[in-house]
Structure 1
Amino acid sequence: MLETPRLQLIPLTHAQLIRYSRLPASLAMELNLKPVRRVVPESLKESLGRIILDVKDNPDNYLYYTIWTVVSKELNIMVGDICFKGEPDDNGNVEIGYGTYDDFAGKGYMTESVGAITEWAHSQKGVSAVIAETLKENIASQKVLQKSGYAQFKETQNMIWWRHLKNETYE
């Protein structure tokens, strides 16, 4: 678990991922949290089966495969999710994905979460950069990455790729 002044980032176990995908209220109960009304984005729904299998198949490195639920300590409720998209590649790059539940958007939770998970990633062996991609029209996500010290390094017609290098900050 990672902790910031306002948040806890809790990496879900294999069993918790199954509850997350099928019975979200039971996961909240297990974690002693208030239940939250949330809509799982289609892109995450499509990935959940693979995520659950990857966590089961990689017990020693499951932190790179699981969903980390983001919990507001003050509200005692899940406010979003963040994850890695696998272990670092041969160049030391590890990719993150994240999302805030609609009721909690605009409160800085994801900026705080991205900062914490980026710092954690840079403390891990074999990680030289943390990367993320955003849709060009997703200005909120771009602001999260900018505030977290990421810099653009690639752009296509629809996407922007961002990178945070170990021991480097961006203004």
Structure 2
Amino acid sequence: MLAINAERLKLVALDARLAGLQSRAPAAFFEALNVMSEASWPPDLMDQPAMNACELKLTEHPGTEGWYFWAFIWPDFIGGMDRLVGGGGFKGPPGKDGVVEIAYSMLTSFREQGLATEAVNALIDWAFSTGQIREVIAETLPHLIASQRVLEKTGFVEAGTREEDGVTIVRFALQRERAAA
């Protein structure tokens, strides 16, 4: 199992088996991760179609664990029990251009505690450590100020906007050189 230990969090990359459990058997998913059951799981933006797509990509492309969804776990949260607090990761392996897109979401009760910033930093460090990445990008909506603050705190800079179906999307970018500085 691919995992990253951060200051307060443990990040676990889903493989096809874990992705399938998350999608179809939540109790078994929590058990496999050795975490408390979370009634509010999954976090925003990880709806059923997204979970199905994650499982399909991991099934079709073995060995790509880490380039899709990671579970954010707070070890020893209460009485020695680990707790799922959010999730995120990348929208697939990097292309030939060395660019990968990151996304993340926290359960509501674990927001505004610096945990998203910690998780994003850990994911960025992991991605750059593979030697395959020259830039990490992220897209968010203009009204999601907390998400933008996480990106800014982790070194991203605003890189423009685009329109999609009448909605403005703000793009952020972090280049390897800037991350290393």
Which residue of the partner structure matches residue 27 of structure 2?
A: 25
35-44 or 6-15: bigger deviation: 35-44
CA distance in 1: counterparts of 2:150 and 2:72, whole angstroms: 15
Quote how far apart the aligned CAs of 1:127 are. 0.7
Contact kept in structure 1, 2:45 and 2:105, CA below 8 Å: no
* Larger CA deviation: 124-133 vs 31-40: 31-40
Is the contact made by 1:6 and 1:74 (CA closer than 8 Å) also made in structure 2? no
> Which secondary structure does the structure 2 equivalent of 1:162 belong to?
strand
In the alignment, is residue 159 of structure 1 matched against residue 169 of structure 2?
Answer: yes
Q: Which residue of 2 aligns with 1:106?
A: 112
- Cα shift readout 1:139-165 (whole Å, capped 9, x = no counterpart): 010011011111111213521111111
Letter in 2 for 1:31: L
**Partners of 1:130 and 1:28 in 2: CA distance:** 30
Match of 2:55 in 1: 52
Normalized against structure 1, the TM-score is what?
A: 0.91
Segments of 5+ residues of structure 2 without an aligned counterpart are none
CA distance in 2, matches of 1:101, 1:30: 19
Q: Return 9-18 or 109-118, whichever deviates more.
A: 9-18
Q: Does the residue aligned with 1:64 lie in a helix, a strand or coil?
A: coil
Q: What is the identity, as a one-letter code, of the residue corresponding to 1:130? A: V
* Contact 1:61–1:87 (CA under 8 A) maintained in structure 2: yes
Q: Distance in 1 between matches of 2:130 and 2:147?
A: 24
Aligned to 1:11: 13
Matched, 1:81 2:87: yes
How much has 1:100 moved relative to structure 2? 0.1
TM-score normalised to the size of structure 2? 0.87
Amino acid at match of 1:15: R
> Is the CA contact (8 Å cut-off) linking 1:149 and 1:170 kept in structure 2?
no
Shift, 1:23, TM fit:
2.4
Sequence identity of aligned pairs in percent? 28
Partner of 2:65: helix, strand, or coil? helix
Instruction: Quote the Cα distance in structure 2 between the aligned partners of 1:82 and 1:22.
Output: 19
Q: Does 1:93 align with 2:99?
A: yes
CA distance in 2, matches of 1:119, 1:154: 24
Distance in 2 between residues matched to 1:56 and 1:116, nearest whole Å: 25
| Distance (Å, rounded) in 2 between the aligned partners of 1:42 and 1:131 | 17
Describe the superposition over 1:116-156 as per-residue Cα deviations: whole angstroms up to 9, x where unpaired: 00011111132101111011110010011011111111213
* SS across alignment from 1:161: strand
Structure 1 window deviating more from structure 2 (16-25 vs 134-143): it is: 16-25
The answer to whether the 8 A contact 1:129-1:166 is kept is yes
C-alpha offsets along residues 41-84 of structure 1, whole Å, 9 cap, x if unaligned?
Answer: 4663222222111101111223213x100001231100000121
User: Letter of the aligned partner of 2:61 in structure 1?
Assistant: N
Which one is further off, 113-122 or 10-19?
10-19
Aligned residues: 170
Aligned-partner Cα distance in 2 for 1:141–1:89 = 25
